[in-house]
A and B are shown apart, each in its own frame.
Chain A
Amino acid sequence: MSSELEAVIGLEIHVQLSTRTKMFCGCELSFGDEPNVHTCPVCLAHPGVLPVPNEEAIRYALKIGMALECEIAPRSIFHRKNYFYPDNPKAYQISQYDIPLAVDGRLGDIRIHRAHLEEDAAKMIHVGDSGRIHGSGASLVDFNRGGTPLVEVVTEPDLRSAAEAAEWARLLRETVRQLDVSDVNMEEGSLRVDANVSVRPSGSEELGTKTELKNMNSFRFLERGVEAELQRQRELIEAGGTVEQETLHFDPSDGTLTSLRSKEEAHDYRYFPEPDLVPLAPTEEMLREARESLPELPAARIERYEEQMGLEAEPAKFLASDPGLGGYFEEACRVAGAEVGPGGGGVEPRVVANWITGDLTATLRQRGDEEDFADPTVSAEDLAALVLMVTEKKISHGSGKAVLAALVVEGGDPAAIVEREGLAQISDAGELESIVAAAVEANPEAAEQIKAGNQKAIGAIVGAVMKETKGRADGGEVNRLILEQLGD
C-alpha cells in the first residue's frame, strides 16, 4: 500500500431562515400546510412580476455572517442562476455569485469560505414506483416552500474525517439555532448538508478530485455517507483508478452511493447579475443591530469554559452546546462561589461541571427525562448548595448522590433532605474512631494483609465502616484512621 490517503472534506450547508415571509414576496412561510396555499404571482413566476428582498432575511443573514466571523460585503450582488426544472418557476434561482454577503470567516477550527443569501426551490413529489422524476407516473409541485429564504454556508476544505465533519456540522447547527434565525431541523429540511469529498496523499498540499454528496438529512447519515465515499475513493485509488468528478446520492438504508450526474452533465447556470435588484448594501443600523444581537455562541463559550474556568474539552463542549445548560452551569458556579475560577476560593467550576455532566445528567437520563435545563427540577441554587456541602465535607460524596436523587424526584431544600435522612457526616472524631476499631477487629484477614503491605485490602474495612455509618463517613478520614490503628 502506498502512503496514507488523507481525507479532505468541505461542507455546503443550506439554512432555511425562519422569517415570517418569503425571500422575495409577501407569502407566509409554513411547514406541513396544504400544498400551494402560500403562493402569489411573484413566487409562481407569473409574467411581469419582480422580486423585492425581504429585509428580515437580510438581517438574519447578517447575524449568521457575523456569528461565523465573516467579513460583510458593503455591497453584495444578487445573480440569476439559470436552469430549467419544475421546482424553479422562474427557471432561474436568485442567488449570490461573485460578491456574496459574507466571506472569509471561521467557526471553531474550520474556515468559512462564504455565506450568501438565496431562495429555496419548491418541493416536488413524484408519484409512482421510482420516487424520482424519471419513471414516475406524475410529478406534483408544492410551491409553499418555493422562495423560502436560504443562507448557504460554504466551508473551506478543512475537515479531515467523516466524524469531524459531522461534529462540526453539529456545532454549526447549534450556533445557528442560538442565533434564533432558523429551525435548523434536518428532517424537515430547514438545515441541509452537502459534502465535497476528496482524498490525497498525506502531506500533499494539492486537492484531489472531489465528489459532491447531496442532502444527507441527519448528522449520522452525513458521517456514514462521507465515510462510505472516502472508503470508495481510497479503494478506487489504491486499485490504480482515478476519482471522477460527480454528484452522488447516499442511500442510508443500504449504504450505497449512486451517481446523480457526472461532470459532463453538469449544468451551465449562465450566471449574470440580477437586473431586477439593486446591490444589497446593509445600512449602519442593520450592521449594528445584527452585531449587538449576537449572543455568546457555542464556540466562544467552549473556549471560555476551557481557558477561563479550567474545564476539560469534553465537559466544556457538553455544557456549551445548549444555552440553557450553559446558563444553568454558570449560575450554579456563581452561587457556589466558583466563578472566581480555579484556585480562587469557593468550589472549582470543574467540580460543579462534574456534578452536572455526571450525576445530574445520569439521574435525569435514568428517569427518561430530556435534560431540560431551561426548566430544571433541581434549581442551580440547590445544586450549588449540594456541591458546597460535599466540598466542605458536611456530607460524603455518596450522600451527595442520594440527596441529588431525592431532589430530582421531589425537589426541595438539600439541607432539609440531609437532615431528614440523617446523612450529615460523622464529625465526632471519637465516634468514628470506635467504629473503625470495630471494623478492623471484625476483618482480621484484611488487617493482616494491610500490615503485609497490600493496600488494596483496605477496601473491605472501609466498606464495613461505610455500611455501619450508612455512608455518612468521610472516605479519606476513614482511610487515615484504619492505617493509624494498624500502626502504619
Chain B
Amino acid sequence: MSELLELTVAQAARGIANGEIAPDEYFEAWRMAAATDDLNAYLWRAEDGVGAEGPLAGVPVAVKDIFCTEGMPTTAGSRILEAYVPPYTSTAVRHLREAGAGVLGKTNMDEFAMGSSNENSAYGPVLNPWDRGRVPGGSSGGSAAVVAGGLAPCAIGTDTGGSIRQPASLCGIVGMKPTYGAISRYGMIAFASSLDQCGPLTRDVTDAALLLGAMEGRDPCDSTSVGIEGGVELPSREGLEGVRFAVPAELAHDAIEPGVRTVFEETLKTIERLGGEISEVPLPHAEHGISAYYVIAPAEASSNLARYDGVRYGMRVEGGGDLIEMYESTRAEGFGDEVKRRIMLGTYALSSGYYEAYYGRAQKVRTKIAADFDAAFAQFDFVVTPTSPSVAFKLGEKTDDPLAMYMNDFFTVPMPLAGIPAISIPAGLATPEGGGPRLPVGFQIAAPAFAEQRLLDAAYALEQGIGFDAKPGGDD
C-alpha cells in the first residue's frame, strides 16, 4: 500500500485509468495516511471514499476549510463557524468531484485566511512537517502541511496575498495562484473578494496543472470568473532556451535571509544552464504592495465578515438580550484577534472622510503595480523572486509583531494586486537564521494574466533542472 503513497497524482491517475490501480484502494490508502495526522493539519476527515469516474477518479484531495462542502463542516478556521455545515458545495470542489476526485479532509488554516503562519486558527496552529517547532506558513498552512507531510497526495487552498505560495514555499512543495477569474470563487468563503483566488498545492508542477485543469472554467455563479481559454495541458517542456526571466531590480536591497538569497541565486544559475536569460527589471511600486494590500484586503474583509452576526447560522452569543448586544457578544467571542484587527483596519479605511486617503489611494497603487508588471511583461516572459524572504520561522516567533508577520507577504502580494498568476516551486534547502536543520526555499515565477500554460511549462522545465527531491526528516 505504501508504494501507492509514493506516486504523484498524475502517476496514480494514469495507473487508475490503466486499471492497474483500483480507485477505491488508492483513496483508502490515503484515508489511512490522513488518519495519522499529528500536525493538527486536518479539521475534518472523510469517513469513506469515492467511486466516481473521470480523469481524477479515486484521487483524494485535501481541501482548505474555506471551501463550502455540503454536509461537511466548514469553519474557515474560525470559532464563529464552529459546527457550521453549509447547504451547498463550492464550484471548485464540485469540479474536482466531477473529474472523479473526492474530498479526503478539510484542512486547518488561519482564521478567514488572515495570516502567514497558521497560528491564527481558532483550532490551534499547524506544525511544519520539516520541523514541528516551526510554522508551515499560511493561511493555507494545513493544505501545505498535509502534502509535504505525506497526509494527502494533493490539496487546494486559496491565495489572497500569498496564502498558497508562501506555505508551499515553507513546506517544500508546489503552490500556484492562478489568474484572478481562472477558477470560480463561488463557495469559497470570502476574505478579500478582489484578491481571493483558489489554487492547487501539490508535490510537483504536473500535479498542479492537473488540478488547475480540473478546477478552472467560467462559472455562471461567479460574475468575475472567466476560466482559462483553451484549458490546461500537462506540461512537458524541456529546457528554457530563449525564455526571458526578469528579477526585480529592487530585490538587491530587500531584506532576505542569506540562505534564501543563496538558493535564489543558485536557481538563477540553473535557469541560465537550461538556456534561459536573466535580466533585471524595475518594479518601482511593488514595495508599496504591502501597504496597499493591508488597506484593500482588510477593507473588503470588514464588509465580507459583517454577515457573521449570529442571526442565521453559526455561533450566537445572546449577550444582554438586545440586538446590538447579541451582535457584539457574538462577534467578540466568535472572532480571533487578527480578524478583529483587520475588521477594524478595514472599517476605518472605508469610513467617510478617510476613504480617499486610504482605500482610494491603495487602489491607485494597485493600478501602478499592475502597470509595472505590464511594462515588465512587454520585455520579458516571467518575473522571478524568492517566494518568501525567509524559511519557515518558529512557532510564536512573530505572533506579537503583526508588521513583521505582514512582511512575509512582501514578495507574494504584488501578484494578486495585479491579478496575475504565480507559482512557487521548491528550489533547495537553506539553514535558517539562528541555525538548525535545513529547510525548504521556494522560487516564485510570475506570468502575465492567463498565461498559465506558459507558466506551468517553464516551471516544469525548471523543476526538472533543479531536481529537488528532499523530504521532511530526510535531510542532514
Q: Is the pairing of A and B real?
A: yes
A80 vs B223: C-alpha distance when bound (angstroms): 16
Q: In the complex, which residue of chain A has the Cβ closest to the Cβ of B186?
A: A50
| Chain B residues whose CB sits within 8 angstroms of the CB of A47 once the complex forms | 68, 74, 76, 81, 84, 86, 189-190, 307-308
B9 within 8 A of A: no
Identify which of A47, A50, A53 gathers the most chain B CB atoms within 10 Å of its CB: A47
Q: In the complex, which residue of chain A has the Cβ closest to the Cβ of B313?
A: A46
> In the complex, which range does the number of interface residues on chain B fall in?
35 or more
B221 within 8 A of A: yes
- Which of A48, A50, A272, A275 is within 8 Å of B355, CB to CB? A272
B49-66 vs A: 1/0 string, CB under 8 Å? 000000000000000001
Q: Report whether B300 and A133 are in contact in the complex, using a CB–CB cutoff of 8 Å.
A: no
Closest Cβ–Cβ distance, residue B306 to chain A (whole Å): 3
Decide yes or no: A52 and B223 within 8 Å by CB, A41-B87, A47-B81, A47-B84 being known contacts: yes
Q: Report whether A272 and B220 are in contact in the complex, using a CB–CB cutoff of 8 Å.
A: no
- Which of B74, B84, B187, B352 is within 8 Å of A49, CB to CB? B187
B351 within 8 A of A: yes
Q: Which of B279-327 contact A (CB under 8 A)?
A: 299-300, 302-303, 306-309, 311-313, 323, 327
Identify which of A44, A92, A133, A270 gathers the most chain B CB atoms within 10 Å of its CB: A270
Count of A interface residues, CB-CB < 8 Å = 30
Decide yes or no: A141 and B299 within 8 Å by CB, A48-B187, A82-B306, A270-B352 being known contacts: no
| Chain A residues whose CB sits within 8 angstroms of the CB of B303 once the complex forms | 80, 82, 91-92, 270, 272
B188 within 8 A of A: yes
B143 within 8 A of A: no
Q: Report whether A50 and B189 are in contact in the complex, using a CB–CB cutoff of 8 Å.
A: no
Q: Which of A468-488 contact B (CB under 8 A)?
A: none
A131 vs B352: C-alpha distance when bound (angstroms): 32
Identify which of B306, B312, B327 gathers the most chain A CB atoms within 10 Å of its CB: B306
Decide yes or no: A48 and B86 within 8 Å by CB, A82-B306, A270-B303, A278-B223 being known contacts: yes
A84 vs B309: C-alpha distance when bound (angstroms): 8
A133 vs B321: C-alpha distance when bound (angstroms): 12
| Chain A residues whose CB sits within 8 angstroms of the CB of B38 once the complex forms | none
A277 within 8 A of B: yes
A86 within 8 A of B: yes
Q: Report whether A272 and B359 are in contact in the complex, using a CB–CB cutoff of 8 Å.
A: yes
Decide yes or no: A53 and B323 within 8 Å by CB, A48-B188, A82-B306, A276-B193 being known contacts: no
A128-167 vs B: 1/0 string, CB under 8 Å? 0000010000010100000000000000000000000000
Q: Which of A73-116 contact B (CB under 8 A)?
A: 80, 82, 84, 86, 89-92
| Chain A residues whose CB sits within 8 angstroms of the CB of B250 once the complex forms | none
A41 vs B186: C-alpha distance when bound (angstroms): 11
A277 vs B225: C-alpha distance when bound (angstroms): 10
- Which of B67, B185, B347 is within 8 Å of A50, CB to CB? B185
B90 within 8 A of A: yes
A295 within 8 A of B: no
Decide yes or no: A82 and B86 within 8 Å by CB, A139-B323, A276-B224 being known contacts: no
Q: Report whether B352 and A48 are in contact in the complex, using a CB–CB cutoff of 8 Å.
A: no
Q: Report whether A275 and B194 are in contact in the complex, using a CB–CB cutoff of 8 Å.
A: yes
| Chain B residues whose CB sits within 8 angstroms of the CB of A133 once the complex forms | 323
Q: Report whether A86 and B87 are in contact in the complex, using a CB–CB cutoff of 8 Å.
A: no
A271 vs B352: C-alpha distance when bound (angstroms): 9
Closest Cβ–Cβ distance, residue B208 to chain A (whole Å): 23
Closest Cβ–Cβ distance, residue B103 to chain A (whole Å): 15
Q: Report whether B224 and A44 are in contact in the complex, using a CB–CB cutoff of 8 Å.
A: no
Closest Cβ–Cβ distance, residue A81 to chain B (whole Å): 10
Closest Cβ–Cβ distance, residue B327 to chain A (whole Å): 6
Decide yes or no: A50 and B74 within 8 Å by CB, A82-B303, A268-B352, A275-B300 being known contacts: no
| Chain B residues whose CB sits within 8 angstroms of the CB of A50 once the complex forms | 185-186, 221-224
Q: In the complex, which residue of chain B has the Cβ closest to the Cβ of A92?
A: B303
Identify which of B76, B222, B223, B299 gathers the most chain A CB atoms within 10 Å of its CB: B223
Q: Which of B88-116 contact A (CB under 8 A)?
A: 88, 90
Closest Cβ–Cβ distance, residue B209 to chain A (whole Å): 25
Q: Report whether A91 and B306 are in contact in the complex, using a CB–CB cutoff of 8 Å.
A: yes
Q: Report whether A52 and B221 are in contact in the complex, using a CB–CB cutoff of 8 Å.
A: yes
Q: In the complex, which residue of chain B has the Cβ closest to the Cβ of A274?
A: B193
B350 within 8 A of A: yes
- Which of A44, A90, A270 is within 8 Å of B350, CB to CB? A270
| Chain A residues whose CB sits within 8 angstroms of the CB of B66 once the complex forms | 48
Identify which of B84, B185, B299, B312 gathers the most chain A CB atoms within 10 Å of its CB: B312
Identify which of B299, B313, B351, B359 gathers the most chain A CB atoms within 10 Å of its CB: B313
| Chain A residues whose CB sits within 8 angstroms of the CB of B194 once the complex forms | 275
| Chain A residues whose CB sits within 8 angstroms of the CB of B352 once the complex forms | 268, 270
A278 vs B359: C-alpha distance when bound (angstroms): 18
| Chain A residues whose CB sits within 8 angstroms of the CB of B355 once the complex forms | 270-272
- Which of B220, B323, B347 is within 8 Å of A86, CB to CB? B323
A89 vs B312: C-alpha distance when bound (angstroms): 8
- Which of B81, B185, B223, B309 is within 8 Å of A53, CB to CB? B223
List residues of A whose CB falls within 8 A of some B CB: 41, 44-53, 80, 82, 84, 86, 89-92, 133, 139, 141, 268, 270-272, 275-278
Top 6 nearest A-B pairs (CB, nearest first) are A91-B306, A275-B194, A270-B350, A275-B193, A47-B189, A48-B187
20 inter-chain pairs at a CB distance below 8 angstroms, sorted by A residue, are A46-B68, A46-B86, A46-B312, A46-B313, A47-B74, A47-B81, A47-B189, A48-B86, A48-B189, A52-B220, A82-B303, A86-B311, A89-B307, A91-B307, A139-B323, A270-B352, A272-B299, A272-B303, A275-B192, A275-B300
